[in-house]
C-alpha cells in the first residue's frame, strides 16, 4: 500500500538580498495511514520548513524542488478547486504558538466555525453545535463560556486546545503538530500530548509530531526522522532509533535527554557549538564541526544516505556511523 504522505528529494531554498539560504536539502519522508512520525532536531534544522512545504505555506521567495504526494496526488500540482479544500480538510496543522495562531480580535466561536462554514457549507447554528462538540472533545472546561471569549482570556493550555480543535474541525486524515507544547508548563505539556495520542487513536488519523526533544517522541511515535542543517540524518522505527542509534547527532541528542534513573547531581551532556549557517552551502556533513567522530573526509564529502545492514526501515547519512552500522562498516574496512 502506498504511503498516505510521501516526500521525495524535497529541497527548499530561500532567495534573500544577501543570497540563497539552503533551508531543506533532499529530504525523503513518508507517513502511513494511522501512523505517528516524529521529526526531531534543533531549531533551524529544517523541520518546520519541510512541513510548511507540504502545507503550501512558504513565501514566494522560496524555490522548491522534489515532490510531495498525498494519497496518490501530486500536492504541488493540485488544481485550484481541489487545493482550496485540501488544506485544513485532508491535512491540517497545529502551529507552535497558539497566541499567534489565533486572531486576537475574534471570539473563539468565530474562529472555530469559519473553516466548517467554508469547507463543509454548514449553517451558523450547525457550525456552532459542532464547535461546542470539538471544545468538549479537547476537554476544555465550560465550553459554552469559552465560545464567547477572546484568546487573551484563556490560559496557554486552553488556547492550545482551541488550536487543536480548529485543526480537527474538518476531520483531517493527517495532522501535523509543530512543537505543540511550546511555552507550556510540564504538566500541561503532558496533557496536550496525551490528548493528541487519544485523538489520533480514536480517529485513526496519521500524525507528524515536530519537536526538538527526542524524549517527547520516544513513547508516542511509530517512526522517527532526525534532521540537522536542513538534511535528514537518520530515520527508523522509534525502537531502532533508541536501541541501535546510527548517527552521531542522534546519539548526541540522546545524551542530552534527562533520565529519571540518573544519580542526583549528574550533568547532562550538551552538544557543543552552534547549528550551521544555512546561507553557506555545505561541502560536507553539516554536523561535522560539532561531531566528536569527525575526520577530514566529513568536511569535504556529503555522506550518502544508506540503510543499516539487516534493516529495511533504518537509514542514516554518516561517514562514521555508530551502533551495528558502524560495526559492520569497520569489519568491511
Q: If you write DSSP's letter for every residue of 86-98 in order, what string do you get?
A: TBTTTEEEE-S-H
Is 269 within a domain? yes
Q: What domain range includes position 221?
A: 5-73+211-332
Q: Residue 57 sits in a domain of what CATH number?
A: 3.40.50.300
* Whole-angstrom distance, CA of residue 294 vs CA of residue 318: 10
Q: Count how many Cα atoms sit within 13 Å of the Cα of residue 59 in the half-sphere of its side chain.
A: 6
Confirm whether pTM is higher than 0.85.
yes
Q: What are phi and psi of 21, to 5 degrees?
A: -115, 120
- 288 found inside a domain: yes
Report the phi/psi class of residue 9: left, alpha or beta, with left for phi > 0 and alpha for psi in -120 to 50.
left
For residue 194, is it within any domain? no
173 in any annotated domain? no
Establish how many alpha carbons lie within 13 A of residue 152's alpha carbon, considering only the half-sphere containing its beta carbon. 4
CB atoms within 10 A of CB 258: 9
CA-to-CA dists, residue 258 to 180, 184, 255, 314, angstroms: 20, 18, 8, 25
Residue 321 falls within a domain, yes or no? yes
Per-residue pLDDT of the chain (333 residues; tens, 9 = 90+): 789 999 999 999 999 999 999 999 999 999 999 999 999 999 999 999 999 999 999 999 999 999 999 999 999 999 988 998 999 999 999 988 877 889 999 999 999 999 999 999 999 999 999 999 999 999 999 999 999 999 999 998 899 999 999 999 999 999 999 998 877 788 888 898 999 999 999 999 999 999 998 989 998 999 999 999 999 999 999 999 999 999 999 999 998 877 767 677 777 788 989 999 999 988 999 999 999 999 999 999 999 999 999 999 999 999 999 988 887 565 555
Q: Has residue 28 been placed in a domain?
A: yes
Is residue 134 included in any domain, yes or no?
no
Residues 226, 267: Cα–Cα separation, whole Å:
24
Residue 322 lies in a domain: yes
Number of separate domains in the chain: 1
Amino acid at each position: 500500500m502506498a504511503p498516505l504522505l510521501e516526500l521525495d528529494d524535497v529541497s527548499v531554498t530561500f532567495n534573500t538580498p544577501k543570497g540563497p539560504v539552503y533551508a531543506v536539502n533532499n529530504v525523503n519522508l513518508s507517513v502511513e495511514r494511522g501512523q505517528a512520525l516524529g521529526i526531531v532536531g534543533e531549531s533551524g534544522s529544517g523541520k518546520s520548513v519541510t512541513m510548511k512545504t507540504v502545507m503550501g505555506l512558504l513565501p514566494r521567495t522560496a524555490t522548491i524542488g522534489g515532490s510531495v504526494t498525498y494519497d496518490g496526488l501530486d500536492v504541488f500540482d493540485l488544481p485550484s478547486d481541489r487545493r482550496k479544500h485540501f488544506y485544513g480538510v485532508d491535512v491540517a496543522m497545529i502551529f507552535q504558538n497558539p497566541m499567534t495562531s489565533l486572531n486576537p480580535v475574534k471570539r473563539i466561536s468565530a474562529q472555530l466555525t469559519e473553516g466548517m462554514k467554508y469547507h463543509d457549507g454548514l449553517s451558523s447554528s450547525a457550525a456552532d453545535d459542532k464547535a461546542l462538540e470539538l471544545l468538549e472533545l479537547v476537554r476544555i472546561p465550560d465550553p459554552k463560556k469559552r465560545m464567547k471569549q477572546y484568546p487573551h482570556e484563556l490560559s496557554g493550555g486552553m488556547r492550545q486546545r482551541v488550536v487543536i480543535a480548529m485543526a480537527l474541525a474538518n476531520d483531517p486524515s493527517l495532522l501535523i503538530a509543530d512543537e505543540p507544547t511550546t511555552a507550556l508548563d510540564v504538566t500541561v505539556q503532558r496533557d496536550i500530548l496525551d490528548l493528541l495520542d487519544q485523538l489520533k487513536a480514536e480517529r485513526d488519523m496519521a500524525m507528524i509530531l515536530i519537536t526538538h526533544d527526542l524524549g517527547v517522541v520516544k513513547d508516542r511515535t511509530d517512526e522517527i526522522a532526525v534532521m540537522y542543517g536542513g538534511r535528514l540524518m537518520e530515520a527508523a522505527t522509534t525502537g531502532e532509533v533508541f536501541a541501535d542509534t546510527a548517527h552521531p547527532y542522534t546519539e548526541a541528542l540522546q545524551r542530552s535527554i534527562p533520565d529519571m534513573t540518573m544519580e542526583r547531581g549528574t550533568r547532562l551532556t550538551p552538544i557543543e557549538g552552534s547549528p550551521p549557517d544555512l546561507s553557506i552551502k555545505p561541502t560536507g556533513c553539516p554536523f561535522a564541526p560539532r561531531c566528536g567522530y569527525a575526520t577530514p573526509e566529513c568536511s569535504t564529502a556529503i555522506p550518502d544516505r544508506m540503510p543499516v545492514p539487516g534493516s529495511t526501515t533504518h537509514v542514516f547519512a554518516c561517514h562514521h556511523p555508530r551502533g551495528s552500522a558502524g560495526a559492520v562498516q569497520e569489519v568491511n574496512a
